[in-house]
Amino acid sequence: MANEERYHHDAEPRLNPVATVLAWLVPGLGHWILGYRRRAKYIAAGILGLYLAGLLIGGVNIINRTDGFWWYCGQVCVGPETIVINYWREHHLPPDDPKDQTNYTYARPSYAKVNEVGTLYATLAGLLNLIAILDVLYKAPCAEGVGRRTPSRRREDSA
Amino acid sequence: MIVMMNLLFMNPSAHHFAGVSLAYRPFLDPIDAHSWWLFLSLPLVFGIAVAYKAIRLPTLTHYWRQVFKMTTQVMAALILMCVALYVLVEVAVPYM
């Protein structure tokens, strides 16, 4: 079967610290570096899709280190963008005077189920990326070779 | 006036109250999904299946089939739990 990216059970697994860090920086990049490129695309699509969907549903207020610390711990597993978003949100709080709010960029708070669902989306994305990070931490490279474009991979990439 | 401004800019539900709809700003404003938030569980489960199956499957031969299978199984389990809890709370408990 062409390019199944079968996990290389026969090869000796090894520690991949660089791939682990890359997997945290960009979801899927750790698998990509190890040669599992098709898996990397699916992982990135799934995790970043959930994360962006969470932000679109609840707004950036779903990332709140102060009021939802344990949710934030899960969300930060998606990558450093969570830290940046939290920093931006904390420095763009709504002004106290409502008259100033019209000329000021700030995130409107989300409430109730919309906030909960958005938070759940982003946190589950983080926990899934944690699984991906742990997966690449101790793993053999792809059986088809790291970074090599085999004929089957070329076919898949062009499809 | 200040109270009205506060309602408009701080409380999303106040927009309906005041008959005013402010433009949605992606990533800054929450969506108005208070009446249909339950349906957001379907894309959530699908996204989880896409990422989880990409990590866990030994081969990607039947990847999409496995993704749809997991999505269906999780959604079916959620619906069954909803029905079971509804029967427990609305039917069984009142007769206890």
Q: Which residues from chain B sit within 8 angstroms of residue A94, using beta carbons?
A: 9-10
pLDDT at A5: 67
Give the closest-approach CA distance of A151 to chain B in angstroms: 17
Q: What is the pLDDT of residues B31-59, one digit of tens each?
A: 888 899 999 999 999 999 999 999 999 99
The fraction of chain B above a pLDDT of 70, given in percent, is: 77
Q: Note the pLDDT of residue A8.
A: 58
Judged against a pLDDT cut of 80, whether residue A159 lies above it is answered with no
Query: Is the pLDDT higher at A96 or at A79?
Result: A79
Q: In this model, does residue B19 exceed pLDDT 50?
A: no
Q: Do A46 and B28 touch (CB under 8 A)?
A: no
Indicate if the pLDDT at residue B3 is higher than 60.
no
Cβ neighbours for A145, distance < 8 A, ≥ 6 positions apart: A35
Q: Give B17→chain A minimum CA distance, Å.
A: 16
Which of B50, B58, B61 has its CB closest to that of A42? B50
Do B51 and A51 form a contact (C-beta atoms < 8 A)? no
Q: Is the pLDDT of residue B17 over 80?
A: no
Residue ranges of A 65-124 with Cβ closer than 8 A to chain B: 94, 98-99, 101-102, 105-115, 117-118, 120-121, 124
> What are residue A14's DSSP bridge partners?
A139
| B72 has pLDDT over 80 | yes
Asked if B26 and A109 come within 8 Å (Cβ–Cβ), the reply is: no
Taking an 8 Å cut-off on Cβ atoms, the answer to whether B30 and A42 are in contact is no
pLDDT band at A40 (very low <50, low <70, confident <90, very high): very high
The reply to whether A63 touches chain B by the CB within 8 Å rule is no
Q: Cβ separation of B51 and A132 shorter than 8 Å?
A: yes
Split at pLDDT 50, 70, 90, the class of B5 is very low
Alpha-carbon distance of A44 to A56, in angstroms, equals 17
A4: confidence class by pLDDT, cuts 50, 70, 90: low
- DSSP lists the bridge partners of residue B7 as none
Give mean pLDDT, residues A108-121. 88
For an interface test with B, which of A41, A57, A100, A134 has the most B Cβ atoms less than 10 Å from its Cβ?
A57
Q: Is B23 left (phi over 0), alpha (psi -120 to 50) or beta?
A: beta
Residue A108 has pLDDT above 80, yes or no: no
- Averaged over A96-101, what is the pLDDT? 68
Provide, as residue numbers in chain A, all residues whose Cβ is less than 8 Å from the Cβ of B49. 46
Mean per-residue pLDDT, A51-72: 93
* This prediction's pTM: 0.81
B86 pLDDT band, cuts 50/70/90, is: very high
